[in-house]
Structure 1
Amino acid sequence: MKQQMIESSIRRRALRLGVSTIFAAMLSACVNYAGIHSDKQVAKPQQFETVQSLPPEQGHWPASNWADQFGDPQLKALIGEALQGSPTIDEAHARVAQAQAYSEAAKAGTLPRVDANYSLTRQQYSSTALIPPPFAGTWQTENKGLLSASYDLDLWGKNREALKAAVSQTQASQADEEFVKLTLSTAIARTYNQLARLYVLHDIAQEEVARREQIDRITVGRIATGLDTEVERKTAQANLATSRANVTAIDGSILTARYQLAALLGAGPDRGLSIERPMLGVGDEVRLPDNLPADLVGRRPDIVAARWRVDAMTHEVKEAKAEFYPDINLSAAIGLDAFGFGRFLTAASRTASAGPAIHLPIFDAGELRAQLKGRYAEFDYAVAVYNQTLITALSDVAMQLAQIRSSDAELVDAQTAQRAAQDADQLAITQFKAGLTNQLTVLNADVTALNADQAVANLKMNRRDQQIALASALGGGYVDTSADETRRADAAALANPVVAGR
């Protein structure tokens, strides 16, 4: 008896060893991904030299209401209107909903599946084929009902990686939506500032018309006293007409800016006609926040979106690798199958099945290797996009800051030149009226004053435009919280028991 037990134990061990050897041999004979890899890595913000260009200034990151700093409630209302009704936002929201649907579909692949089917078939069976009498050559009604269940063991994590990739793509889409909102808000603020610029230039142009009218009146008086001729009069009239044409041109530009704002709001062009004249203030003091390069990656939605796409591609690479390993799917079914209705609900009509299904790729002519190479190429592309997005973001902040500092310095000299030009213009008109100088001197002084006024106005508007662009470059108040949310989502989605292994 003891000898029999020993022999039985030896046979069981030999059987297990044989099965293991066969399984190992099958795996070694299967397709594999040897030699397929990637050495690309996402860039770290600390690896870029930014100390001189982006110095820590103990400033604050923009808040979500960054546009309020300019003190114009109409601007805030326009941005809110656009974020509620613009088709551009609807497009971004639809893309998020689509990504969420893909994520839900991927989650379904990690869970058991249960289906119920019923069919009724009226069929005449052949009397010379497989069906024996008494059914051969007769018409029969077959009723079939089946309840089936299946579950992919996902031993190598293919379905779990697909779910993680889908979740990451959803997070990327949500960051994309925030970037669209930021881009739209920035475009509205900058177009609104352009409208403010046009109104200021319109005021300067109208003042220029008034000065040219004054020169024309003085010229008429000088002609009466013999100091000037009709040549000077015609010159004055030509300059006056040119100034009035400039006012008309600016009026057209103002109307165009209104239509542009209406389009950004997602409304018809008439909406732009009801926008009142902007009343924008100077805005807050410009100072960069500390630890900017490192914190910027969580403040810019475009960087966050690019990072999530890298994460998604990482999981898709793992999913593609899992395709090289065996798939084991457990399935079971129970149902009823009978000819006619009388015997359909009886125990004799009962049918049942259960068992595993194993899929092992052995030779696929290189299809799986090509698929994995494609995933690695997409991963490399996602890494390159992320790195370039990070570089562009750092450069964007540095350029906007440099332009603001340059505008501040230029404005000091421009205002000094403006005051001198205005004094010279007034003095020239006084001397011209008194007959102490000619019209050419007055016109030259007038043109210099006009250019100085326009230069100061444009510098002020440019500086505000750059301030808006800087707030956008710093993320516009966006803060990435998706990492924590994703960890919670992964834990909930993968709560069902799975067999891990590689």
Structure 2
Amino acid sequence: MKAQVIRSVSGTRAIKAGLSAILVAVLSACANYAGIHSDQQMAQPQQFNTTQSLPFESGHWPEADWAAQFGDAQLKVLLEEALKGSPTIAQARARIAAAQAYAESANASTMPRVDANYSLMRQQFSGTAGVPPPYAGSWQTQNSGLLTASYDLDLWGKNREALRAAVSHVQASAADAEVVKLTLATALTRTYNQLARLHLLRDIAEQEVERRQQIDRITAGRIATGLDTQVERKTAQANLATAHSALAELNGSSLTTRYQLAALMGEGPDRGLAIARPVLGVGDEVRLPDNLPANLVSRRPDIVAARWRVDAITHEVKEAKAEFYPDINLRAAIGLDSFGFGRFLTAASRTVNVGPAIHLPIFDAGALRAQLKGRYADFDDAVATYNQTLISALNSVATQLAQIRSSDAQIADAQVAQQAARQADDLAITQYNGGLTNQLTVLNADMNALQADQAVANLLMNRRDQQITLASALGGGYFDTSSEPERSPDSAAPSNPVTAR
């Protein structure tokens, strides 16, 4: 008896081993993806040298309302309007909705499907074909009502990988929406700062008009006393007209900037006319947060979006690999099928069928391999895009920090030069009014003072613009809380007899 049991067990094992060998042989003879792979790898922030350009300064990451640091209540209102009404935000939301719909469709492919079908067909059967009497040559009405069910076993994970890819695309679209929001907020804040710049330059231009009017009056008095001629008078009038022209140009630029703000808000140009003069403050102290390179990958929405796209294509590669293996679909149907109406609802019209449907690719002229190569090409492109995005982000932060430090040094010197130029200009006017110097000296001093005022104004506005751009480069308060995606299409390949090298 024991010997019979041993022989029975041995026979079972032999059958299983034989079936496995047959399966391996069949699959190996079929289409396979041997030799198709990728060597591309996602860059790690730590591999880049950033200790000197991005030092640890114990600073803080920007808050979600990072623009509030400038203390302008109107700017906050404009940003809220823009994020609600801008068409670019609506476009981003639509892309998220489309990605979510595709994910729902992919999820449906992993579930059983049940359908109900009914057909009614009037047909004349051939009298010389395979239909036997009494139906041969007659007209018949065929009624068919079926309830069908199907389920893809998904042994190799094709549908599951498609679902994971779709979910990753949803994550990427959500990060893209954050990129759009940050880009819009940055553009609006910088444009608002440009409006502040134009108002400040306009103040300087108005002061210059007053100064040129003063010079013209003094020149008129000097002509009356014989100290100047009509040459100096015409020169003074020409300079006054030039000052008026510069003021008009600034007024036009200010109007254009208001229209730009209205467009960024998704409003008509008249909305820009209602914007009051900006009252932007200096903003927070600029200090970089510690361990910036490592944390930046979860703080920049463009890096997060690029990372999720790599993950999506990783799953698409695995989905393409699963196409090489047998696709087994279980199907069943139950219903009624009959000729005529009278017998349709009888037990004799009942029909039932159940069984598997198996698809195995054997020879496809290289179509599956070409498809997989395309997926790997997409993977290489996504990895390269991620790496470039990371490099650009690190360099953007370093560049803005360097520009801010440079602006700080320039502002201090420019303010000293401004004070000296103003004093020289006042002294030249006093001497000119007293007949101690000529108009040329006054005009040179006045031009130097004007340029010094403009230089300080532009440096201050540039410095704030750089601070705005730095906040954006640091992610603008965004933080990715999603789970960590996969980084290699070969990290979890389906278990099968054929492996990619």
Question: Is the shorter-chain TM-score for this pair beyond 0.5, marking a shared fold?
Answer: yes
The yes-or-no answer on 1:312 pairing with 2:332 is: no
The separation in 1 between residues aligned to 2:8 and 2:407, in whole angstroms, is: 92
1:267 CA drift (Å):
1.0
Give the corresponding residue for 1:265: 265
Q: Which amino acid aligns with 1:448?
A: N
The yes-or-no answer on 1:181 pairing with 2:178 is: no
Q: 1:6 to 1:405 in 2, by over 3 A?
A: closer
Superposed, 1:146-295 pairs within 5 Å as: 146-295=146-295
1:357 CA drift (Å):
1.2
Is there any run of 5+ residues in structure 1 with no aligned partner, and where?
A: 488-499
Give the corresponding residue for 2:128: 128
Deviates more, 1:62-71 or 1:341-350: 341-350
Q: 1:330 to 1:224 in 2, by over 3 A?
A: same
1:451-486 Cα shifts (integer Å, max 9, x gaps): 0000000000000000000000000000101227x8
Q: Which amino acid aligns with 2:416?
A: T
1:97 CA drift (Å):
0.7
Give the corresponding residue for 1:460: 460
1:364 CA drift (Å):
1.1
Partners of 1:191 and 1:260 within 8 A in 2: yes
The separation in 2 between residues aligned to 1:426 and 1:6, in whole angstroms, is: 115
The separation in 1 between residues aligned to 2:386 and 2:367, in whole angstroms, is: 29
Give the corresponding residue for 1:109: 109
Superposed, 1:54-133 pairs within 5 Å as: 54-133=54-133
Q: 1:400 to 1:3 in 2, by over 3 A?
A: closer
The separation in 2 between residues aligned to 1:329 and 1:143, in whole angstroms, is: 27
Question: What secondary structure, in the 3-state scheme, does the structure 2 residue paired with 1:338 have?
Answer: strand
Give the corresponding residue for 1:392: 392
Give the corresponding residue for 1:423: 423
The separation in 1 between residues aligned to 2:466 and 2:63, in whole angstroms, is: 17
Count of residues in Structure 1 that have an aligned counterpart in Structure 2: 489
1:56 CA drift (Å):
0.9
The separation in 2 between residues aligned to 1:8 and 1:293, in whole angstroms, is: 64
Fraction of identical pairs, as percent: 74
- The TM-score with structure 2 as length reference comes to 0.94
Superposed, 1:477-488 pairs within 5 Å as: 477-483=477-483
1:181-218 Cα shifts (integer Å, max 9, x gaps): 00000000000000000010011001000000000000
The separation in 2 between residues aligned to 1:5 and 1:127, in whole angstroms, is: 61
Is there any run of 5+ residues in structure 2 with no aligned partner, and where?
A: 487-493, 497-501
Give the corresponding residue for 2:381: 381
The separation in 2 between residues aligned to 1:9 and 1:271, in whole angstroms, is: 86
1:12 CA drift (Å):
6.0
Q: Which amino acid aligns with 2:183?
A: T
Q: Which amino acid aligns with 1:98?
A: A
1:18 CA drift (Å):
4.3
The separation in 1 between residues aligned to 2:134 and 2:2, in whole angstroms, is: 57
Deviates more, 1:152-161 or 1:407-416: 152-161
The yes-or-no answer on 1:362 pairing with 2:362 is: yes
Deviates more, 1:140-149 or 1:395-404: 140-149
The yes-or-no answer on 1:432 pairing with 2:426 is: no
1:174 CA drift (Å):
0.3
Deviates more, 1:348-357 or 1:7-16: 7-16
Partners of 1:155 and 1:501 within 8 A in 2: no
1:430 CA drift (Å):
0.2
Question: What secondary structure, in the 3-state scheme, does the structure 2 residue paired with 1:483 have?
Answer: coil
1:64-92 Cα shifts (integer Å, max 9, x gaps): 01011111111111111011010000111
Partners of 1:158 and 1:319 within 8 A in 2: yes
Question: What secondary structure, in the 3-state scheme, does the structure 1 residue paired with 2:483 have?
Answer: helix
Give the corresponding residue for 2:410: 410
Deviates more, 1:139-148 or 1:240-249: 139-148
- The TM-score with structure 1 as length reference comes to 0.94
Give the corresponding residue for 2:446: 446
Q: Which amino acid aligns with 1:27?
A: L
1:216-264 Cα shifts (integer Å, max 9, x gaps): 0000000000000000000000000000000000110001101111111
Deviates more, 1:223-232 or 1:135-144: 135-144
Partners of 1:396 and 1:473 within 8 A in 2: yes
Question: What secondary structure, in the 3-state scheme, does the structure 1 residue paired with 2:479 have?
Answer: coil
Question: What secondary structure, in the 3-state scheme, does the structure 1 residue paired with 2:369 have?
Answer: helix
Q: 1:2 to 1:444 in 2, by over 3 A?
A: closer
Give the corresponding residue for 1:492: none
